[in-house]
């Protein structure tokens, strides 16, 4: 009987979010087991809020101490989702009966148990994590559960967070996050502001825009704020929160979340909030690969023309068409829930 499982997933916010479907499978199949996850320091409180995780171990950078902590937990199995040679060295001498790693990098052959975690063309990348867990469950004779339609039910706190963001009356809170997740080109503040202006003018919904940001992105958000304010459009800069976990919870207030390929966009997907993503135009189809966890009928995505010279030029997105799509969605939002 499996009582305690370690999952290695110590990377970026968006990548961690997209592992929630795999964690949900693991917890649903083994509800009595302790699901313990090794994460980066920035993810500590957010991971602790995850309903599928029972214990969080933070990457301190001290590999000897981390390995000792792993040993003290007496795991029945470890699933190495983010495979690195460093991780292999930390767990190779541990008395863990089952160690599973994905089939990539040469050191996959150092593991007795390996699984294909390469999602197929036309699939979202979160499928890779599920494939690893599905292999684990099949190997141990457990049926594979159904995935939930929504990964994080924070509906009980929605009204509280809407009040926090200043919603009044029948307003729709449209969150917009300046900046980019790195793989996409940046959406210029003027283009983003123009898009939001067109959406506001074209929709029948009573919109209030909430501009979220992190660190240096505040400058971009402020520029958008100034443009919308000058056009007499209802907008506010998001109030700072104490932690990533609080920010992640607060997104339940949103009626729509718009951003580049960023961690916040993926967090919105956990709440099944309608998402509008802007991605680089590449043949690898990042708008499919990096799609959010929101249900498909609540998900819009846009790219510039595919190509080396055009794919990262976000100014080439057809913002007029995007604004029309978004406004039409907001006009029929209630019927699409």
Burial class (CB in 10 A: 0-12, 13-18, 19+), 148: middle
Contacts of 92 (CB under 8 A, 6+ apart): 110
For residue range 140-157, list pLDDT tens digits in order.
999 999 999 999 999 999
Res. 222: pLDDT tops 80: yes
CA angle 151, 82, 68 (to 5 degrees): 105
- Which residues lie below 8 Å from residue 283, measured CB to CB, with a gap of 6+? 306
pTM: 0.93
Beta-bridged to residue 278, according to DSSP, are 260, 302
Residue 176 in contact with residue 212, Cβ under 8 Å?
Answer: yes
CB 233 within 8 A of CB 239: no
pLDDT value of residue 121: 83
How distant, in Å, are the alpha carbons of 261, 306, 325, 336 from that of 312?
Answer: 12, 9, 22, 32
In the predicted structure, residue 189 carries a pLDDT above the cut 70: yes
Which of 244-253, 285-294, 312-321 has the highest average model confidence (pLDDT)?
A: 244-253
pLDDT over 70 percentage in the chain: 97
Q: 131-135, 194-198, 309-313: which has the minimum mean pLDDT?
A: 309-313
pLDDT of residue 182: 55
Burial state string for 290-310 with b = 16 or more CB within 10 A and e = fewer than 16: bbbbbeeebbbbbbbeeeeee
Closest CA to 220 of 257, 256, 183, 259: 259
CB count in 10 Å sphere of residue 98: 16
Model pLDDT for residues 25-40, shown as the tens digit of each residue? 999 999 999 999 999 9
- Look at residue 272 and tell me whether its pLDDT is greater than 70: yes
Q: Which helix (H) or strand (E) segment is 327 a member of?
A: helix 319-331
Segment 160-173 shows an average pLDDT of 97
DSSP state for residue 94 in the 8-state scheme: S
pLDDT of residue 335: 45
Q: Is 166 left (phi over 0), alpha (psi -120 to 50) or beta?
A: left
Over residues 41-91, the pLDDT tens digits come to 999 999 999 999 999 999 999 999 999 999 999 999 999 998 899 999 999
Give CA separation, 276 vs 10, 51, 256, 310, 326, in Å.
Answer: 27, 25, 8, 20, 8
| Sequential DSSP letters for 235-268 | EEEPPP-S-HHHHHHHGGG-SEEEEES-HHHHHH
- pLDDT > 60? residue 184: no
Q: How many CA atoms lie within 13 A of 65 on its CB side?
A: 6
C-alpha to C-alpha distance for 148 and 170, rounded to whole angstroms: 29
The C-alpha atoms of residue 239 and residue 213 are separated, in whole angstroms, by 10
């Amino acid at each position: 009987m499996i009582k305690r499982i370690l999952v290695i997933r110590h990377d970026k916010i968006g990548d961690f979010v997209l592992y929630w479907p795999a964690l949900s499978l693991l917890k649903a199949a083994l509800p009595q087991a302790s699901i313990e996850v090794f994460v980066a320091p920035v993810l500590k409180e957010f991971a602790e809020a995850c309903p599928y995780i029972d214990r969080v171990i933070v990457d301190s950078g001290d590999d000897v101490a981390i390995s000792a902590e792993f040993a003290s937990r007496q795991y029945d199995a470890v699933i190495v989702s983010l495979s690195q040679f460093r991780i292999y060295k930390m767990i190779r001498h541990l008395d863990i009966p089952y160690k599973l790693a994905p089939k990539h990098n040469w050191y996959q052959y150092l593991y007795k148990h390996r699984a294909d975690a390469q999602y197929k063309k036309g699939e979202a990348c979160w499928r890779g994590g599920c494939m690893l867990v599905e292999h684990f469950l099949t190997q141990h004779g457990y049926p594979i559960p159904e995935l939930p339609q929504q990964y994080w039910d924070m509906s009980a706190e929605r009204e509280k967070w809407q009040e926090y963001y200043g919603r009044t009356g029948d307003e729709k809170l449209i969150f917009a996050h300046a900046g980019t997740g790195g793989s996409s080109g940046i959406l210029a503040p003027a283009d983003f502001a123009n898009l939001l202006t067109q959406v506001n003018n074209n929709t029948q919904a009573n919109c209030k825009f909430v501009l979220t940001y992190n660190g240096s992105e505040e400058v971009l958000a402020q520029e958008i704020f100034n443009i919308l304010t000058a056009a007499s459009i209802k907008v506010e800069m998001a109030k700072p929160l104490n932690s990533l976990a609080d920010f992640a919870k607060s997104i339940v207030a949103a009626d729509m979340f718009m951003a580049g390929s960023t961690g916040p966009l993926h967090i919105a997907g956990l709440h099944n909030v309608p998402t509008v993503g802007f991605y680089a135009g590449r043949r690898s189809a990042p708008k499919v690969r990096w799609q959010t966890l929101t249900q498909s009928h609540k998900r819009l995505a846009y790219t510039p023309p595919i190509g080396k010279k055009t794919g990262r030029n976000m100014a080439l997105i057809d913002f007029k068409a995007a604004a029309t799509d978004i406004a039409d969605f907001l006009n029929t939002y209630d019927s699409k829930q």
